[in-house]
Structure 1
Amino acid sequence: MLSMRNYLFSAGLALLVAAASVSITATASPAFASEIKYVVNNVPITTGDIAHRAAFLKLQRKKGSAADEMIDQTLRVAEARRLGIRISDAQVEAAYQRFATTNKMQLKQLDGVMAQSGVGKEHFKEFIRAQMAWNQALSARYRSGEGGSVSEQDAVRRMLDKGGAKPTAMEYMLQQVIFVVPAAERSATLAKRKREADAMRARFNGCNTTREFAKGLIDVTVRDLGRILAPQLPPDWAEQIKATKVGGATATRETDRGVEFIGICSSREVSDDKAAQMVFQSEGSNDKNADELSKKYVEELRKKARIVER
């Protein structure tokens, strides 16, 4: 069963069964004329964008309107941006690499498949960026109650009615360390700041000494994130946090704020009504729920949008 935060991304990338049979000897994408076809809330969608998406649908062996998909993607990206969600280039590149690895391909091979099919790696990467951002927006909507939120007591009652015991969940005490990189200085200082963050992360041995380590460093922010249950972990960090031992820290990551890592101060298994609620909602977020919630959300965005066809 896929979780809400992974559903759209995973389902949207089920294409390499078809791609595996595509010849990758050629490396040049078909040339697409590019004129503005739609303007969605002042954001243009070109005939080239639509042609790339049509090729993507063909590669997936999937029916649908390429134009409608591009309109929906534009609306999703804008909504994620409104919510303050940003997906960095580094996150996209990492996802692209993971996709190649999962499908037992070298990056060059995947680039070739995308070029030969007419999709193009840049179009695919923007699709990945949009899906990752939308997953976070959808997760936020689900947690806010749109996905069928239940009270703590109702969650416990439903689980007990099914013959199960009250569930447990891991509770983490976390600390976030941010090596701040102003946008104007990003290209010049990001690599240097990453080296500094990696050095501090290597010395990390518990949350009590973090601020001492940070004292002599410029523009370093240390935030105590408090107690967080496993189902509430930020999607981008969840797997790393779960894989890191207490007293250790996750690998550093480039984000819009700069370079970050998260320290695991402590963890414990808890069994209470709040944990039950979180686990129930997490387990209840299946493919059907995710699909229905996504469709409803996009329909709302379409009703409010100004979509002009040229």
Structure 2
Amino acid sequence: MVKTKLSLLGLCLAVVATPAVAQSFGAAGQDDIPADVRIFGPPDPHVRKASAIVNGSIITDLDVEHRLSLVVAASGGRIGPDEKNRLRVQVLRNLIDERLQVLEAETHDVTVDPAEVESAFKRVAQNFKQTPEQFAAFLKSNGASADTLKAQIKAEMAWSRLLRSRVAPFVSIGDEEVDAVIKKMEASKGQEEYRVSEIFLSATTETEAAVRNTAERIIQQIRGGASFVAYARQFSEASTAAVGGDLGYVMAEQLPAPLQSVVATLPKGQVSDPIRVPGGFSIIAVSDKRKILGPDPLDAVLTIKQVIVPFKAKASEAELKSLVERMATEAARGGGCGRADAMAQALGGRVEEPEPQKLREFPQGLIPHLEALQVGEATRPFGTEEDARVIVLCGRDDAQEAKLPTYDEVYAQLNEERMSMMARRYLRDLRRDAIIDYR
């Protein structure tokens, strides 16, 4: 249960991020942290020392530790001391970029009302079904703080507004570009497209081995249960970092050549090995796939009943096993949703009837089982630390064939892609001109 709550941390942090669906694989110009940087000894939590001074603005070791704690929390706390020291360097780089963005926004008189930050923080807390006060306590219990999350929220808002004022006016999308995209989608009808997320780490010939090692350590953490979203937000150098690495739905042909075969063969929910691409390494994950403009099975709307049987306090392993076997037997008897109440009564449980929802909105591990069910059938037992459950399928409304996106929708997507590419160049230029003093 704790692991589930912590893994949500990376997801909730994307509340205030601006949409981004493009990736640019050029060299990032990342020369802002020395390649031979070393961290000596553990920091004293009671002393705020400068880790870096960015154009006169101080980043303290406490800032680094609090931000690092967000990553550790998203990993379920399963990060050893050596790995934390390596991650600390990357967190510092992320904070330097963030400080450059904030300082640039201030230079151009871009402001963020504190009330807006508080409102966004409240939305994050609501994602956890907590009050802001409860969520602040949750962050503190994990070694972070409400202030460090609010600082990140404020920085993202400021950067987004700066881009709208300084970059957006120079983005130009022609009618012929929009028409070409729509025609290509018509021609591609029925082909596979994939919901792809990415983490991009820039590398030069000199740093290639070190960056590959970093990528492999990130993959190890994610495969061990850490949040892909959290790692993408903190460490990815792609423009999609602000939205947890989400590229949206893309065809394999839209991706750089080294990624195309990987995307087409990577199982849903899995994370790739490091992939060498121009400018660095990519780590990708595929969370979904569908046919372009075709009916998507995952958009089918399911009506269900859920039979929930709580575990008795201090029940033995044998008692729990016996209960699960009884539930499996009852579920296999059939009878549809009309028997759900009788099943619950026989097992000492209760029935819940949630609102109908799309198949894709169910937990990833349940989707294959629900997809295979006929109306009236039930899943095998599954559950949590507190109870065992079965789902009975009461009805299924199959998805309809998708429609072509409108001109305005395609224009907005192209505009966002162009904006993302220009934003990355903007940040690259800020890095090149920055005066950074490491302490």
TM-score (norm 1): 0.48
The structure with the largest helix share of the pair is 1
Highest Rg: 1 or 2? 2
TM-score (norm 2): 0.35
Q: Which has the higher contact order (CA 8 A, sep 6+)?
A: 1
